[in-house]
């Protein structure tokens, strides 16, 4: 592959909309170009790198016994309506009609389609288990696509679906997919951790996320310093390190707090800590207000709240909605004497004494509040967010928070799709029973970007060999020197005979530009053919990942390059 012939349009300047290293470098290195917001075209080197990632995924899925299929991108609405997700998916699902007026969507995932296929085959217990997977382009109309391939609207994904006769067999497959995902991440040189996670719109009883630690990650991860507990903050469990409201209750006192609506203002005015103040966050769900009470030093975890409300159709009360609820003293809402409003209490508020809360009239708070005496914290749920230093519910160790990029997610679906779509199997006695399912997704284009996030420096990408688009770049410094060109072409042919692809920079440009582009593109080995060829018959070889440079004699260069690649990261 020649640099002068192939489309590798490198850029010197950072793209204006690039917020992350992977977004910047994949564009600057000529590996992709934007087509629209959150939609990208892969150019030759980018397509090769993506193929390397997807081939690793394919290898591990095949080794685990899964079978590859090809499913449609355009899905009919009927199975989605049957499963109940046609409306639940909301505006992220791209919907359209054909010329006959039938409704379709661009598939964001394929549980409905694959379950319908299996349902029509009416398998017996002898036909199961089976695990079917595809690697395909998916579409989700993200409201705010960002970070390049990290949160795009169109993306590449491997999605697999397994079908079982028993929960025990689903457990076995879940563990097999867990192991396959760990192997995939390791082969792609990604440092990962596996955490418990919420099942979200996919549904099911249990799921695990495969996370890559990163400051740009959109997920908050919780890990115990003393044991193996780890979870996404969306569904973590913790014990508070600070006991809230242990002071004597005293008498209930109303205090004038003009214009003080924030926890910081109220705690400062009352000369107390935020751990002694009850926070109220107002939401609207189904056109009805919901008052959520949490400790003043914590926030509401909306993912936990969604689980307890049984819906994610809610939002913080907006300014334009306040006038609809004139009985609510917004900014001063408290649990004492609050009537006619749906309430949710965080479990940490049970038994608190001597705390402060809103008085349910503007510009006033109550001091000396005691749960049970002045209000009952019912219903009681874990809806507060975790904080650094909280305690592990398993061992009592300190919890640490970090951010991570989700590259994979595996689910135990159970009967969520098989029952509404009537996917059944006949057991040994001939009785029809619903098939038990699992689903397993891994974002291949997101993995590609995550590799770049973990493997780059100030000069550009540092591809690990396993996922590099090509292993070697040959750089000819004197394109007018017939001997240099002849040596480059022979070396390229020798490496090709060894099964090694080469990017040959034959452009008539300055050495500085070529070296900068080579580091930007970041192939594992750079072979420089220049004046040393005439003076001592050698070529220079640089390992991009380590920066280590060596001089090899031309006669042995192909063998030495092959050996260097074997030792490359």
State the pLDDT confidence band at 203, using cuts at 50, 70 and 90. low
Domain annotation covers residue 461: no
State the pLDDT confidence band at 472, using cuts at 50, 70 and 90. very high
Q: Which of 381, 412, 441 is the last residue of a domain?
A: 381
- What per-residue confidence (pLDDT) applies to 409? 95
* C-alpha of 478 from chain center: 46
Beta-sheet pairing, 206-213 with 399-414: antiparallel
Read off the pLDDT of residues 24-40 as tens digits, 9 standing for 90 and up. Answer: 999 999 999 999 999 99
Instruction: Give yes or no: residues 159 and 218 share one domain.
Output: yes
CATH number at residue 535: 3.40.50.800
Read off the pLDDT of residues 528-547 as tens digits, 9 standing for 90 and up. Answer: 999 999 999 999 999 999 99
Distance CA 139, CA 156 (A): 9
- What per-residue confidence (pLDDT) applies to 8? 87
Instruction: Give yes or no: residues 68 and 215 share one domain.
Output: yes
Instruction: Give yes or no: residues 271 and 370 share one domain.
Output: yes
Say if CB 456 and CB 25 are below 8 A apart.
yes
Domain annotation covers residue 153: yes
- What per-residue confidence (pLDDT) applies to 244? 85
Q: Which domain holds residue 194?
A: 21-236+402-452
Q: What is the DSSP string of 141-156?
A: --SS-BTTTTB-SEEE
Say if CB 519 and CB 460 are below 8 A apart.
yes
Domain annotation covers residue 222: yes
Instruction: Give yes or no: residues 368 and 517 share one domain.
Output: no
Domain annotation covers residue 327: yes
Pair of tokens at residue 170: 């689903």
* C-alpha of 180 from chain center: 18
Distance CA 30, CA 43 (A): 7
Cα 59–65–71 angle (5° rounding)? 80
Domain annotation covers residue 4: no
Instruction: Give yes or no: residues 159 and 26 share one domain.
Output: yes
| Environment class of 100 (CB within 10 Å of its CB; exposed 0-12, middle 13-18, buried 19+) | exposed
Instruction: Give yes or no: residues 76 and 197 share one domain.
Output: yes
Pair of tokens at residue 250: 């005293």
From residue 283, give the alpha-carbon distance in Å to each of 53, 91, 199, 300, 303: 43, 21, 23, 11, 13
Q: Please, which residues have CB within 8 angstroms of residue 383's CB and are 6 or more apart in sequence?
A: 292, 294, 300, 301, 304, 305, 308, 344, 346
- What per-residue confidence (pLDDT) applies to 272? 92
Rounded to an integer, the average pLDDT of 151-166 is 97
Domain annotation covers residue 326: yes
Read off the pLDDT of residues 83-108 as tens digits, 9 standing for 90 and up. Answer: 999 988 888 899 999 999 999 999 99
Beta-sheet pairing, 342-346 with 288-295: parallel
Distance CA 211, CA 217 (A): 9
CA atoms 28, 32, 35, 36: torsion sign: negative
Instruction: Give yes or no: residues 30 and 177 share one domain.
Output: yes
CATH number at residue 61: 3.30.930.10
> What single DSSP character describes residue 357?
E
Distance CA 64, CA 316 (A): 45
- What per-residue confidence (pLDDT) applies to 234? 86
Rounded to an integer, the average pLDDT of 207-234 is 92
Instruction: Give yes or no: residues 300 and 439 share one domain.
Output: no
Instruction: Give yes or no: residues 204 and 322 share one domain.
Output: no
Instruction: Give yes or no: residues 191 and 60 share one domain.
Output: yes
Mean pLDDT, the chain, rounded, equals: 94
CATH number at residue 329: 3.90.960.10
Distance CA 537, CA 528 (A): 12
Count structural domains, the chain. Answer: 3
Rounded to an integer, the average pLDDT of 344-360 is 95
Domain annotation covers residue 16: no
Q: Please, which residues have CB within 8 angstroms of residue 361's CB and are 6 or more apart in sequence?
A: 329, 332
Beta-sheet pairing, 32-36 with 39-42: antiparallel
> What single DSSP character describes residue 277?
B
- What per-residue confidence (pLDDT) applies to 286? 84
Residue identified by tokens 């590799």 is: 451
Instruction: Give yes or no: residues 160 and 298 share one domain.
Output: no
Domain annotation covers residue 462: no
Q: In what order do the strands lie in the sheet with 472-476?
A: 502-505, 472-476, 525-529, 538-543, 549-553
Instruction: Give yes or no: residues 172 and 280 share one domain.
Output: no
Give first-to-last CA distance, the chain, whole Å. Answer: 23
State the pLDDT confidence band at 206, using cuts at 50, 70 and 90. confident
- What per-residue confidence (pLDDT) applies to 249? 62
């Amino acid at each position: 592959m020649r640099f002068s012939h192939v489309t590798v349009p490198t850029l010197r300047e950072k793209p204006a909309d690039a917020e992350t290293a992977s977004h910047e470098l994949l564009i600057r290195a000529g590996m992709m170009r934007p087509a629209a917001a959150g939609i990208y075209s892969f150019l030759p080197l980018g397509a090769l790198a993506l193929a390397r990632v997807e081939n690793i995924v394919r290898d591990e899925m095949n080794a685990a016994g899964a079978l590859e299929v090809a499913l449609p991108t355009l899905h009919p609405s009927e199975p989605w309506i049957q499963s109940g997700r046609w409306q639940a998916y909301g505006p992220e699902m791209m919907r359209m009609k054909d010329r006959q007026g039938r409704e379709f969507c661009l598939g964001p995932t394929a549980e409905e389609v694959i379950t319908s296929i299996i349902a029509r085959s009416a398998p017996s217990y002898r036909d199961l288990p089976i695990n079917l997977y595809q690697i395909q382009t998916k579409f989700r109309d993200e409201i705010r696509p960002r970070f390049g391939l990290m949160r795009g609207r169109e993306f590449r994904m491997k999605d697999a679906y397994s079908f079982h006769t028993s929960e025990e067999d689903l457990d076995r497959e879940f563990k097999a997919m867990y192991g396959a995902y760990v192997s995939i991440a390791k082969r792609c040189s990604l440092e990962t951790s596996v955490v418990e996670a919420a099942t979200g719109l996919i549904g099911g009883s249990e799921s695990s996320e495969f996370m890559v630690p990163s400051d740009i990650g959109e997920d908050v991860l919780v890990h115990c310093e003393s044991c193996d507990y780890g979870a996404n903050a969306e569904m973590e469990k913790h014990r508070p390190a600070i006991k809230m409201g242990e002071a004597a209750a005293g008498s209930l006192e109303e205090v004038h707090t003009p214009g003080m609506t924030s926890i910081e203002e109220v705690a400062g005015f009352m000369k107390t800590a935020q751990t002694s103040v009850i926070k109220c966050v107002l939401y609207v769900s189904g056109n009805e207000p919901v008052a959520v009470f949490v400790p003043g030093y914590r926030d509401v975890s909306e993912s936990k709240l969604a689980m307890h409300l049984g819906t994610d159709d809610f939002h913080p009360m907006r300014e334009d909605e306040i006038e609809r609820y004139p009985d609510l003293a917004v900014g001063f809402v408290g649990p004492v004497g609050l009537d006619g409003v749906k309430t949710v209490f965080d479990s940490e508020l049970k038994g608190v004494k001597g705390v402060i809360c809103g008085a349910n009239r503007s510009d006033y708070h109550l001091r000396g509040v005691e749960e049970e005496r002045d209000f009952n914290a019912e219903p009681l749920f874990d809806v507060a967010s975790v904080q650094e230093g909280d305690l592990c519910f398993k061992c009592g160790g300190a919890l640490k928070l970090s951010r991570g990029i989700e590259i994979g997610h595996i689910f135990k679906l159970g009967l969520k799709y098989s029952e509404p779509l009537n996917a059944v199997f006949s057991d040994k006695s001939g009785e029809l029973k619903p098939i038990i399912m699992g689903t397993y997704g891994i974002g291949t284009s997101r993995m590609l970007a995550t590799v770049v996030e973990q493997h780059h420096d100030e000069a550009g990408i540092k591809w690990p060999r396993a996922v590099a688009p090509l292993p070697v770049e040959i750089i000819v410094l004197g394109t007018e020197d017939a001997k240099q060109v002849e040596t480059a072409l022979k070396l390229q042919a020798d490496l090709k005979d060894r099964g090694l692809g080469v990017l040959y920079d034959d452009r008539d440009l300055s050495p500085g530009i070529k070296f900068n582009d080579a580091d930007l593109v970041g192939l594992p080995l750079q072979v420089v053919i220049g004046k040393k060829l005439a003076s001592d018959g050698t070529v220079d070889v640089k390992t991009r990942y380590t920066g280590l440079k060596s001089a090899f004699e031309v006669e042995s260069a192909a063998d030495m390059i092959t050996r260097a690649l074997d030792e490359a990261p």
